[in-house]
Every structure is written in C-alpha cells, then in structure tokens.
C-alpha cells in the first residue's frame, strides 16, 4: 500500500486557515519581525519623532506649547554656550578616542603575550569598565578636589608644585581632567576588544614575517595593524558614539562648569531642557547632535565595509 503525505497535515489535525498563511515566507517573516518592530517603534522611533516635534515647538515644563518652526534652532545659532559645547564635544571625543586607542592597543599587545598571572591581570584591566560610571567618577571628583586632592598632595610632596591646583575650577584644566577620566574609563573596553582581535591573528604570521626579515616595528605596521583594522574600526565606532553622547561623567564632575566651560551636547541639553524647564530648546540641542553623529557613523560604517572586503 502506498502512503502519500497529506500536505498540511501535522499530527493528524487540519491546521487553521491563518496558520496556512504562515507557510508563505513573506507572511512568516512579517510575523516574526513584528514583536521587534513594535518594541523598536515604541521605544526608539516614537520618542525620536516626539523629540523632533518638541524641538519644533515652544513647549516648556507645564506648557505643551505650539509649533514654532525652526525658531529654537535659530536661537541656538546665536547661543555662544551652544557653540562651546559643540566644540567641547568634538574635542572631547577626538582626544579621548586617540588616547583610548593608543593606550588600549598598547595594553592589548602586552596582554597578548604569555606571562604568569595573565588571566588575573586581564580580569583586573576590566575594572574601570565594570564599576558604575557615576561611582568611579565621584571617586575621581575627590581626587581632583582642590583641598583633598590626592594628586595635589602627591605633586606637592614631590616638590613639583607650590600651590594647590584647582583641577575642576579652572576652565582649561577642567576639560583636561574630564578627558583623563574618560580615557581611564574607556581604555579597558579598547584593550579587551583589541585583545580579542589580536587573538584571531595567527602568531605564525608574525613568525613568518620575522623570518622574512621584518623588524618588530615593521611587523606591527605591516602585519598586525592592517589585520586588526576591522576590529579597531568597530571598537572606535562604538566608542565615538558613546563618547559623543556622554553625559554622566561631565554631569558628576563639573555639571558643565566652571562657567559652562565643559558642557557637552548632552549636559547642555539637560541643563536647558530639564534644569531650566525649556523642554523644546533642550530637545533642539540634543537633536543638533544627530546630524554630526549620523555623519560620523556613516563614514565609519563605509570605511569598515571597505576594510572588510579587502
């Protein structure tokens, strides 16, 4: 007796008509994507669009406001503090990224060697990254405190300084101090990610290059660096996005001061939007971040793609 399979018969039951629809891949894909689409829509797309509307209105706390067009942006154009925070954000992002990359790569190369206690050291390296930023930043704030600063104490006792340095009170020093803390916090992420990248590079390649006559520097620039580049770019991408939109560090350390000298996009948006209640202007500041960030991300993604197809 021939046994023929009955299409659609599973376990002897006839599937419901709407189940039959799922046999079509387009419907199936739609159904499977739906939960994600709803979540993304609700928590990312909706607030984003709402933010745009807010930035185009004159809403403030307790007042829904009306549509005012680009008035908020025009105001920002003439706002010198806004331009300071734009400059600060770029400076902050650029300087910290360069240092985080250099130090992170250096650490990663050290950790990629064999030595006793390698596992423990690798775990410890991650500490600045694991500790909640607000907590570690408070610790740093104490270290930079003009009176209690352990840094001042050390410099003083070593005879390098005669008077206290007001790390966070001096506009130019404040920015540098914040940059130092960001670097301290960000290096572990670079180090561990780049270490993971280094471990995918076969040590045989370096050995082959050594036999081929390449000195250590040549081996780094001609073998390790180009092979690590895709990982480096991804790590930089993440770091740049995070640093560009950084908030907690500045908020805790200086709150944007002294005299608005250390404001970044995020802290300035917070100060205007929440601090002074001008919701629409705050939204405009944070929205102003968007085109810059978008451009940076697009450039980096294009570059990553080029590096990867090589």
Closest Cα partner for 250 from 238, 271, 270, 264? 264
| Segment interacting with other proteins, rule: CB under 8 A, options 185-193, 198-206, 232-240, 251-259 | 198-206
- The nearest distance, CB 227 to other proteins, in angstroms, is 6
Q: How far apart are CA 27 and CA 215, in angstroms?
A: 59
Question: Comparing C-alpha atoms, which of 246, 206, 207 is closest to residue 226?
Answer: 206
Among 172, 215, 217, 291, binds other proteins (CB under 8 A): 215
Closest approach, Cβ 210 to other proteins, in A, equals 5
Query: Can you tell me the distance from the alpha carbon of 170 to that of 13, in angstroms, rounded to the nearest whole number?
Result: 77
Q: How far apart are alpha carbons 174 and 250 in whole angstroms? A: 10
Comparison of 98 and 208: residue with beta carbon closer to other proteins:
208
CB distance 174 to 262 below 8 Å = yes
**How far apart are CB 215 and other proteins at their closest, in Å?**
7
Q: Which position among 49, 212, 238, 305 is part of the footprint of other proteins (CB under 8 A)? A: 212
> In the stretch 220-249, what mask flags binding to other proteins with x, by CB under 8 A?
--xx--xx----------------------
Nearest distance, CB of residue 307 and other proteins, angstroms: 9
Q: How many CB atoms lie within 10 A of CB 79?
A: 16
Q: Which is nearer to other proteins, 41 or 226 (CB)?
A: 226
**Angle formed at CA 141 by CA 138 and CA 143, multiple of 5 degrees:** 115
Residue 25 makes contact with other proteins by CB under 8 A: no
Closest to other proteins by CB, 83 vs 221, is 221
Question: Can you tell me the distance from the alpha carbon of 46 to that of 285, in angstroms, rounded to the nearest whole number?
Answer: 18
User: Binding other proteins by CB under 8 A: which of 78, 213, 217, 291?
Assistant: 213
- Binding mask 48-87 toward other proteins (x if CB under 8 A, else -) reads ----------------------------------------
DSSP 43: I
**Residue 310 touching other proteins (CB under 8 A):** yes
Those residues whose C-beta lies under 8 Å from the C-beta of residue 275, and which sit 6 or more positions away, are none
| Host H or E run for residue 110 | helix 80-111
Where along the sequence are the contacts to other proteins (CB under 8 A)? 202, 204-205, 207-215, 218, 222-223, 226-227, 310
């Amino acid at each position: 007796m021939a046994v023929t399979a009955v299409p659609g018969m599973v376990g002897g039951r006839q599937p419901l008509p709407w189940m039959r629809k799922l046999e079509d891949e387009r419907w199936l894909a739609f159904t499977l994507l739906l939960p994600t689409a709803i979540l993304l829509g609700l928590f990312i797309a909706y607030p984003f669009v709402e933010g745009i509307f807010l930035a185009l209105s004159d809403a403030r706390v307790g007042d829904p406001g009306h549509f005012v067009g680009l008035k908020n942006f025009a105001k920002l154009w003439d706002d010198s503090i806004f331009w300071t925070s734009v400059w600060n954000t770029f400076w902050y992002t650029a300087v910290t990224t360069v240092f985080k990359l250099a130090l992170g790569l250096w650490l990663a190369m050290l950790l990629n060697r064999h030595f006793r206690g390698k596992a423990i050291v690798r775990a410890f390296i991650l500490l600045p990254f694991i500790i909640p930023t607000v907590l570690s930043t408070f610790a740093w704030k104490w270290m930079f405190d003009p009176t209690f600063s352990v840094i001042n104490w050390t410099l003083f006792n070593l005879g390098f300084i005669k008077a206290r340095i007001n790390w966070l009170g001096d506009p130019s020093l404040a920015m540098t101090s914040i940059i130092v803390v960001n670097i301290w916090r960000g290096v572990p992420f670079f180090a561990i990610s780049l270490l993971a990248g280094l471990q995918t590079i076969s040590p045989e390649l370096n050995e082959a290059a050594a036999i081929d006559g390449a000195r250590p520097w040549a081996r780094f620039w001609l073998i390790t660096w180009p092979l690590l580049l895709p990982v480096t770019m991804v790590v930089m991408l993440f770091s740049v996005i995070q640093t560009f939109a950084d908030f907690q560090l500045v908020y805790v350390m200086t709150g944007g001061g002294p005299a608005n000298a250390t404001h970044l996009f995020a802290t300035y948006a917070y100060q205007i939007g929440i601090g002074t209640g001008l919701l629409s202007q705050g939204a405009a500041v944070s929205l102003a971040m968007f085109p810059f960030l978008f451009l940076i991300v697009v450039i980096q993604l294009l570059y990553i793609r080029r590096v990867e197809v090589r």
